[in-house]
A = this chain, B = another copy of it.
C-alpha cells in the first residue's frame, strides 16, 4: 500500500540481512519488492531452502497488498561469512539471536567490514542500541530499526537511537524505512520494550488476569478484542479515540469528566503471573479453542485478515 506509492525507493542498492530466520526472511521479501539487492548471511547450511520458502510466502502476501509480482532472480543471494556479506552493503539489517554478547561481537565485526557509508540497523525488540554498540569504535553508527511482526506486512517501524547515535544516522534510517513504505517513527528516548511491545504487554497482563480470574475464557477475550478495541485501534489510536469520545470539547473535556473514574479503574487492574495453575489453565483453554486447527491454517487466516484490514484502510491510513 504505502510502499507501492513511495516516490524515493532505494532500488538497486544492496542490503545485507544478518540472520535468515522468520524475521530476516520477511525483511528480505519486503526489500526485494522494493527493488533492493539482498544478501542473507546465516550459518545454517540449509538457509537458502528455508528462507526461500518464507520469502515466497511473504511475496504472495505483498502482491495481495498491491506490489507488482516480480522475479528477483540474482537479486537474492546467500553468504555465510558476515564480513563478506556486508562488504558491499549500503544497509545492514541485523536479525540475529537476542543475546547481548553475540550482538556486541557481531557489530564490532560488521563495523570493521562494512563500507563507511553503510547504515547499521538492528531489528532487536529487547536489546537497546546503547548496549549492542558497546564494542564498536563508533557507537554513533548504530540505531534500532524494530519492525512489528511480520515485518513485510505491518506498517510500523520503531527507530530507536541510543544517546550515542548520530542524528544523521537516525534521520537516514527514518528516511530509508519511509522510502520502502513503512510508518517509521523515531522514539525520543531509549526505553525497554520500546512503545508497541510495552502497550502489548500492558493489555496482555490484564488479559491473562481476566482469564485466570474466570471472567472469560481466552477465546472469549480474543472475541472481545477483535469485535471492539481492535477495530477502533486499527483506525484511531487511544488518544484520538478519547479525543473524539470527549465530543466537541475533545480530550481535555474527556479527561475533566472521565479522568477520575479512569484513574480509579487503573487502581483495579490486575497483576498476572505464569505460575503453574495459570499455565495449565491457558494450555487447556488454548487446546480447546485453537488446538483443533493447524498452525499453518490459522496463520494463513490471520495474514489474509491483516491484508484485508490494510487494504480496507487503503490510502487513508494516517502517517505523520
- Show the binding face of A for B, using Cβ within 8 Å: 126, 148-149, 154-156, 158, 183, 185, 187-189, 191-193, 195-207, 210-211, 213-245, 247-248, 250-252, 255, 259-263, 265-266, 268-269, 271-274, 279, 282-283, 286, 289-291, 295, 298-299, 301-302, 304-306, 308-314, 316-320
Question: Is A220 in contact with B189, judged by CB distance below 8 angstroms?
Answer: no
Given known pairs A251-B283, A252-B286, A313-B308, the reply for A206 and B214 (CB within 8 Å) is no
Q: Is the CB of B216 within 8 A of A185?
A: yes
Which residue of chain B lies nearest to A198 when distances are taken between CB atoms in the complex? B206
Q: How far is the CB of A88 from chain B (nearest CB, A)?
A: 32
Cα distance, A210 to B317, chains bound together (Å): 23
User: Interface centre among A203, A252, A290, A306, by most B CB within 10 Å?
Assistant: A203
Please, could you name 11 A-B residue pairs with CB atoms under 8 Å apart, sorted by A? A148-B229, A195-B215, A198-B206, A222-B318, A225-B237, A235-B302, A243-B290, A243-B298, A250-B291, A251-B282, A252-B283
Q: A237 touching B223 by the CB < 8 A rule?
A: yes
- Chain B residue nearest to A285 (CB atoms) is B239
* Extra A-B contacts (18), CB below 8 Å, given A198-B268, A222-B236, A250-B295: A126-B261, A155-B227, A156-B223, A156-B227, A187-B216, A195-B210, A196-B224, A198-B206, A204-B262, A211-B239, A218-B239, A226-B318, A234-B305, A240-B298, A250-B291, A251-B282, A252-B279, A304-B316
Counting every copy of the chain, the complex holds: 2
Q: How far is the CA of A250 from the CA of B285 in the complex (A)?
A: 12
Tell me the smallest distance from the CB of A82 to a CB of chain B, in Å. 25
A306-B232 in contact given A188-B215, A201-B265 (Cβ < 8 Å): yes
Residues of chain B within 8 A (CB-CB) of A252 are 279, 282-283, 286
- Is B262's CB under 8 angstroms from A220's CB? no
Q: Is the Cβ of B225 less than 8 Å from the Cβ of A238?
A: yes
With CB as the reference atom, state the residue of chain B lying closest to A295: B248
A265 close to B228 (CB less than 8 A): no
Closest chain B CB from A261 CB (angstroms): 7
Residue ID in chain B nearest A273 by CB atoms: B263
Q: How far, in whole Å, are A105 and B236 apart by their CA atoms in the complex?
A: 38
Q: Contact between B237 and A226 (Cβ–Cβ < 8 Å)?
A: yes
If A195-B224, A236-B226 touch, does A316 touch B312 (CB 8 Å cutoff)? no
B227 x A317 contact (CB < 8 A): yes
Residue in B183, B204, B239, B301 whose CB lies within 8 Å of A286: B239
- Chain B neighbourhood of A313, CB < 8 A: 305, 308-309, 312
Query: Which residues on the B side are within 8 Å of A311 (C-beta)?
Result: 312
* Cβ–Cβ < 8 Å partners of A207 in chain B: 199, 237-239
Partner of A216, one of B148, B188, B200, B234: B188
Chain B residues positioned under 8 Å from A210 (CB to CB): 191, 195, 198
Of B232, B237, B310, the contact of A231 (CB 8 Å cutoff): B310
